[in-house]
A and B are shown apart, each in its own frame.
Chain A
Amino acid sequence: MAKITLDNLAHSYLPNPKSEDDFALKELNHDWVDGEAYALLGASGCGKSTLLNIISGLLHPSQGRILFNDRDVTHEPTTQRNIAQVFQFPVVYDTMTVRDNLAFPLRNRGADAAYVAERVQQIATMIGMEDMLNRKARGLTADAKQKISLGRGMVREDVNALLFDEPLTVIDPHMKWELRTQLKSLHHEFGHTMIYVTHDQTEALTFADKVVVMYDGRVVQMGTPQELFETPQHTFVGYFIGSPGMNVLDASVTGDKAVIDGTEISLGQGFGTPTGKVEVGVRPEFTTLASGDVGLPVTVKRVEDVGRHKIVRTDFKGTAINVIAEEGAEISPDMNRIVFDPAGVNVYSNSWRVAPQGA
């Protein structure tokens, strides 16, 4: 178990990176606190797996250092870092039994046989494979194999960190839930530092204490699920988290007023005079439909009832705006305006959030 520090870290797959665009992982300074569970969330190709592989030592970073408990491990090979990592697709040793698979990392470290037997039994119970221990791993189903991979990742108690690279992709939905819950309880029990890479927001938000959102090789925000929801630091976080994502509209902002395509709205707080590409972002949860002449004029396109609430798709001069209305709410045809709750309005300059300066 360890605190993991990334110091000035960056990685490019090209031998001679010239511009910032050549970097798959842009310069990064970050501490992963010992014993916390992190989710690394982002779209495919945003550098999540690159970051994970650098931490485990499978990749050597182009620049910067990695420290485990303040000890520089940048040049140490994977085998010396004592890291556990589970990959997207199951990796099992076909010719071994399930038992030998689970015992493999422990035996490689020369663990005592009695301890190995006991630990393997514990892990097998956890992944629900006690009755399969003597079977050959060859020919098991994909999700059984992935459970073995997970088990092999968790079998060592003294690992510095547990890394998961989209481990539940091949698992059945109901089993996903179960395994995720088990991972969480495992985390509470043993307090490993865990980093869980995923592109599934539900998975990230339910698993982690802290969610790290990556976009285009950069960490755009790190925070609790609530922070990501209420104050997305980057428009990408707004889009990516939430269902549907945040409404982002081009605007010009002066003080506490924003003009969106000719309509002035009040922001409730002052934002100074942000420059560059200015946008206003409001989550559908903070958007309500109204009738009258206050708010943005829209036409309602479609209402989707998803059970817990209704998603209203509206059109504002060619831009889609989504509204979440309560399940019981009546959507009448004369509702032609939308109103933003000032508490949920964020202002962005060049995609980055502008901090409010008070009323």
Chain B
Amino acid sequence: MNKTVNQKAWFLVLPVLLLVAFSAVIPLMTVVNYSVQDAFAGDFYPLDDKLEWFKQMLESERMWDALGRQVAFSAIILAIEIPLGIFVALNMPKKGFWASLCLVLMSLPLLIPWNVVGTIWQIFGRVDIGLLGYTLAALGIDYNYTQDFYAAWVTVIIMDVWHWTSLVALLAYAGLQSIPDAYYQAAKIDQASRWKVFRYIELPKMMGVLMIAILLRFMDSFMIYTEPFVVTGGGPGNSTTFLSIDLVKMALGQFDLGPAAAFSIMYYLVILLISYVFYTVMTNLDKRDGH
């Protein structure tokens, strides 16, 4: 078949270009614009050093602290949610009424809006009226997430685990369901222990969905804002001020638009970088399957 040249075909991509321009490129370029200028009282002043805000941010202890807390938070919730989700999936019924019931119950937390989750835990943990806070106080345990660093962290982490472990469990469950019975039967015939069944059958078969679960949970937790903001407001002090919370404080609280824009761009690049690494690892896993 002969291909003919028709440059008018470019018009066919125009709608997509427009859409992408409005949804991604223009907002992003606005931020880039802010990051290289000094915005003050509605006017823009050019910077002597175009990268001044970036340099300032890179030297800012505040940003490094927020990044440190953020990495710690993501690492902790991944370390809890992934094994816990796998554990839950392994113990769910495989079929029948109870399997459906489990699935419905497990998806419930996933359906609750972020700030509702925050509000639930905010009230739940209150020492005066919250079931959890009151009970702990009655038991003589010193728990107050508004004043105590550890209490605040524990609350925020448990909240995230409560909210999102279901996602990991559901994904892992889907992975487990795709394993044919013959694998388990063969393992019995080969006299494999329960651990070996997990290590050599279940885990490899779950690897693909687990990578997706890790990626999703990493990205979501790295960008977390609403829930900790509603519960602790970033406090006590700055102890639960994660990157997004700090960014909002800077951009809207202090109206430091330039540094906040520089901050946003670096934040975005970090997420992009890590997601890219994940993506590469995942496609390599697939490739290994293909040979």
**Which A residues are within 8 Å of any B CB, using their own CB?**
53, 56-58, 77-79, 82-85, 87-89, 91, 93-96, 104-105, 108-109, 136, 138-139, 149, 152-153
Q: Which B residues touch A94, using CB under 8 A?
A: 204-205
A80 CB, nearest partner CB in chain B, Å: 9
| Contact across chains for B201 and A93 when beta carbons are under 8 A apart | yes
- Interface check B30, CB cutoff 8 A: no
B contacts with A: majority SS: helix
How many B residues, CB 8 Å from partner? 20
Given contacts A78-B188, A95-B200, A104-B190, contact A89 B288 (CB under 8 A): no
Given contacts A93-B200, A108-B196, contact A79 B289 (CB under 8 A): no
| Contact across chains for B188 and A139 when beta carbons are under 8 A apart | no
Q: Which B residues touch A89, using CB under 8 A?
A: 180, 182
| Contact across chains for A138 and B289 when beta carbons are under 8 A apart | yes
Instruction: Report which residue of A53, A56, A87, A149 has the largest number of chain B beta carbons within 10 angstroms of its beta carbon.
Output: A87
Q: Which 3 A-B pairs have the closest CB atoms?
A: A78-B188, A91-B186, A139-B291
Give the nearest-CB partner of B182 in chain A: A87
B281 CB, nearest partner CB in chain A, Å: 15
| Contact across chains for B192 and A104 when beta carbons are under 8 A apart | yes
Residue of A93, A109, A136 touching B191 (CB-CB under 8 A):
A109
Given contacts A58-B185, A85-B185, A138-B289, contact A79 B204 (CB under 8 A): no
Give the nearest-CB partner of B180 in chain A: A89
| Cα distance, A331 to B183, chains bound together (Å) | 55
| Contact across chains for A108 and B204 when beta carbons are under 8 A apart | no
| Contact across chains for A105 and B188 when beta carbons are under 8 A apart | no
Give the nearest-CB partner of A83 in chain B: B189
| Contact across chains for B189 and A77 when beta carbons are under 8 A apart | no
Q: Which B residues touch A109, using CB under 8 A?
A: 191
Chain A to chain B contacts (Cβ below 8 Å), 15 pairs: A77-B188, A78-B185, A78-B189, A79-B191, A82-B191, A83-B189, A85-B186, A91-B183, A91-B185, A95-B200, A104-B190, A108-B191, A108-B192, A139-B288, A152-B186
| Cα distance, A93 to B189, chains bound together (Å) | 13
Give the nearest-CB partner of B287 in chain A: A139
Known: A91-B185, A104-B200. 15 other contacts (CB 8 A): A56-B185, A77-B188, A78-B185, A78-B189, A79-B188, A79-B191, A88-B182, A91-B180, A93-B201, A108-B190, A108-B193, A138-B289, A139-B288, A139-B290, A152-B190
| Cα distance, A160 to B39, chains bound together (Å) | 83
A92 CB, nearest partner CB in chain B, Å: 9
| Cα distance, A88 to B185, chains bound together (Å) | 12
| Contact across chains for B191 and A105 when beta carbons are under 8 A apart | yes
Given contacts A89-B182, A108-B196, A139-B288, contact A84 B204 (CB under 8 A): no
| Cα distance, A105 to B289, chains bound together (Å) | 24
| Contact across chains for B204 and A95 when beta carbons are under 8 A apart | yes
B223 CB, nearest partner CB in chain A, Å: 33
Give the nearest-CB partner of B196 in chain A: A108
Residue of A56, A108, A138 touching B288 (CB-CB under 8 A):
A138
Give the nearest-CB partner of B200 in chain A: A93
